[in-house]
Amino acid sequence: MSALRRAPWGLLAAVAALAVPLVGSRFYTFVATASRSWRCSR
């Protein structure tokens, strides 16, 4: 339990908040590319 108390929760929250848009935009780009190639191949 003491290891949880020593964890830098503020830093982890900031990193997570910055990582979400990066991962989301990358996933959106993948979906857009996949749907475009699927539409063109039909």
d(CA 27, CA 19): 12
* pLDDT reported for residue 37: 82
pTM over 0.75: no
Q: For residue 34, what are its two tokens?
A: 């996949």
Residue numbers of the domain that contains 36? 2-41
* pLDDT reported for residue 27: 84
Cα distances from 18 to residues 1, 23, 25, 30, 40, in angstroms, run 27, 9, 12, 19, 34
Residue-wise pLDDT for 1-42, tens only, equals 576 777 799 999 999 888 888 888 888 888 889 888 877 766
* DSSP-assigned states of every residue in 13-42: HHHHHHHHHHHHHHHHHHHHHHHHHHHHH-
Domain count, the chain: 1
